[in-house]
Homo-oligomer: A and B are copies of this chain.
Amino acid sequence: MSDLLEDRDAWSMANCSIARTLAVVGTKSALLIMREAFFGTRRFDDFARRVGIGEPATAARLKELTAAGLLERFPYREPGQRTRSAYRLTAKGRDLYPVIMALRQWGDTWATDEQGPPVIVRHRDCGAPVHAVLRCENGHDIAPGDSVVDAGPGLIRTDAESA
């Protein structure tokens, strides 16, 4: 277990997972569309209205998120209406839930007004509030200082050295 943090310049973040994630959901509107998707929104104009963005931006984001595989189009039909298309989360999209919850949690802690947070996400079974936490595979809770950065198989080293 080498601590790469000791020589940050010996490796590059050209293939950084964080940057790659942001290439897909790196705009405010994309993340807010995903928020609404987790809240159950499925129809075009509901997305536009609830996120508070215009229709062109809504169409562009839905197209991108569908192309990236986070959402999928599906036909639906209400009684007495023609068949229409709507959007729902895929497994790839659902996997973004920790990101949305972590963003909500930070806002709840650091960016609410005096009234407190607008919504509380609770465990369906027991009713207790839900938090985004960091945990290692052995079950230990992790604080920011408790982690080290190790080389992964895709690491790109720079000329400097390879230790």
Contacts and interface: CB of A to CB of B under 8 A. Distances in A.
A152 B103 contact: no
Contact of A111 (B20, B39, B131): B20
Q: Which of A19, A27, A28, A138 has the most CB of B within 10 A?
A: A19
A52 B18 CA distance: 14
A77 interface: no
Copies of this chain, whole number: 2
Contact of A126 (B26, B95, B140): B140
A31 interface: yes
Given A18-B32, A95-B106, A102-B102, 14 more contacts: A8-B50, A16-B107, A17-B107, A18-B31, A26-B28, A95-B109, A96-B106, A97-B134, A98-B102, A99-B99, A116-B154, A118-B152, A132-B133, A132-B134
